[in-house]
Amino acid sequence: MADDAKLTERMDDLEVKFAFQQETIETLNSAVTDQWTEIDRLKKSLAQLQGQIADLEDSQGPADPGNIKPPHY
């Protein structure tokens, strides 16, 4: 009988630990999902800004034509 009580107590402890682990896994999964969403948003924003910078550089030409070497160099 004592062995049954010990086994029941151990099973209860394992079930509690398992429940806490499941909750932790769900919380971490949610955090990782949120981070990936933010990373994707930041990547899109970065690409847009890089495109805007490239457009500005193309439209303005070289910043200082005196620093550009002639083609024969």
| pLDDT tens by residue, 15-55 | 999 999 999 999 999 999 999 999 999 999 999 999 999 99
**pTM summary value:** 0.62
**DSSP assignments along the chain, one per residue:** -HHHHHHHHHHHHHHHHHHHHHHHHHHHHHHHHHHHHHHHHHHHHHHHHHHHHHHHHHHH--S-GGGSPPTT-
Looking at this protein, which amino acid is placed at residue 45? S
From its phi and psi, is residue 68 left (phi > 0), alpha (psi between -120 and 50) or beta? beta
